[in-house]
Amino acid sequence: MKAIGEMFRGIWVCFLGLFGFTYGPSALGDWVVPEKQISVAAGLSKETYQAVSSLGSSQVKPRTAFPPNDLRQNLLRVAEQAMMPYRDVTLETHESLFDVEIEAIEIAGVRAFKIRPSRIATDLQGRIFMHAHGGGHFMGGGVMATREGAMIAARSGIEVVSVDYTLSTASPFPAALDDLVAVYQDLLGSYPAGLIAIGGSSAGGNLTLATVLRLKELTVNLPGALFVGTPNADLLFTGDTITTNEYVDNMLPTVEGVIRAAAKLYAGDFDLKNPLISPLYGDYAGFPPTYLVSGTRDLLLSDTVKVHRKLRDAGVVADLNVFEGIPHGAYLAAPGSSEFEASLGDLKNFLETHL
């Protein structure tokens, strides 16, 4: 067998040589990839192509790491700048854009928003979707906490509760997780667990997974289904695409700088490998059926893929959807686009099947 392996290795080395590649000891560890110029993926819908193109190139130098004692102030400043384009967005904006009704409420002492679509899907009557917004745990609250939730409500035809959880700039872990667990437990007073879904994208995906891990610890009945969109499931950032898609993703170009700072602020005094902070390291036995979404240019594609594999290895129903050419979260970048309709349309089908 060893001789056969050496023979195939020799054939492979010759094949590489035909294309100008050389094979040496460094190939067993690090190797250098030639520079190349890339454009937005040609296979995207016109609407998503324009939305992704409008971001411009992500080819910028990584931000310098923030001093540990300045994490909160620096991230508050980043959040203020990032949210500036949305300063005039109101609940009425989202109601009009997505044809939903939104009501600011409080559940178990936690700020939230009840979102009702203009038409409830027949098979989702009496069901509820608890939504956790993205934003690296440090931004995206308030009115913007309803944006993805309104999209899900409108496209799936399900009532949604978007939780305006405590941001890490106000209080680090476990404040946000405690908020989500409290809201879920309150919802159990009105809905059987099997009729509740939990989900969100990015940090919302992280919190979705962490919430279920925490509910398992508390021996609370688990929800009927999960939506996990491009989760930052590993705040140690060990995934392959953290490197291979760095600067290829022009939504989330790199984890260096802001993203690592956000992870440290969120974790606070806790270990980043704590499964409730980095849920990739948790036990997925008994998890609800889970719908996952990412894209081939997503910096967090590896996180999504590794979560999917852990779910499958645990015997959990897990539906992985990877869109060609999509950077981080851009399946939601252009409402009405084929990517938007496919990602949330398939989510609707998944919810109807499992709730």
What would the pLDDT profile of 299-354 be if each residue is shown by its tens digit?
999 999 999 999 999 999 999 999 999 999 999 999 999 999 999 999 999 999 99
Write the pLDDT tens digit of every residue in 12-25: 444 444 545 555 55
How far apart, in whole angstroms, are the C-alpha atoms of residue 46 and residue 162?
Answer: 30
How far apart, in whole angstroms, are the C-alpha atoms of residue 109 and residue 25?
Answer: 59
Name the helix (H) or strand (E) containing 229.
Answer: strand 225-229
The angle that helices 147-156 and 338-354 make with each other, rounded to 10 degrees, is 70
Residue 9 structure tokens: 């290795």
Residue 218 structure tokens: 């508390």
CATH class assigned to 48-354: alpha beta
Query: Does the pTM exceed 0.85?
Result: yes
How far apart, in whole angstroms, are the C-alpha atoms of residue 347 and residue 151?
Answer: 11
3 has a pLDDT exceeding 60: no
- Strands, E assignment, the chain: 100-107, 110-117, 128-132, 159-163, 196-201, 225-229, 290-295, 318-323
Instruction: Give bridge partners of residue 293 from the DSSP assignment.
Output: 229, 321
How far apart, in whole angstroms, are the C-alpha atoms of residue 104 and residue 163?
Answer: 10
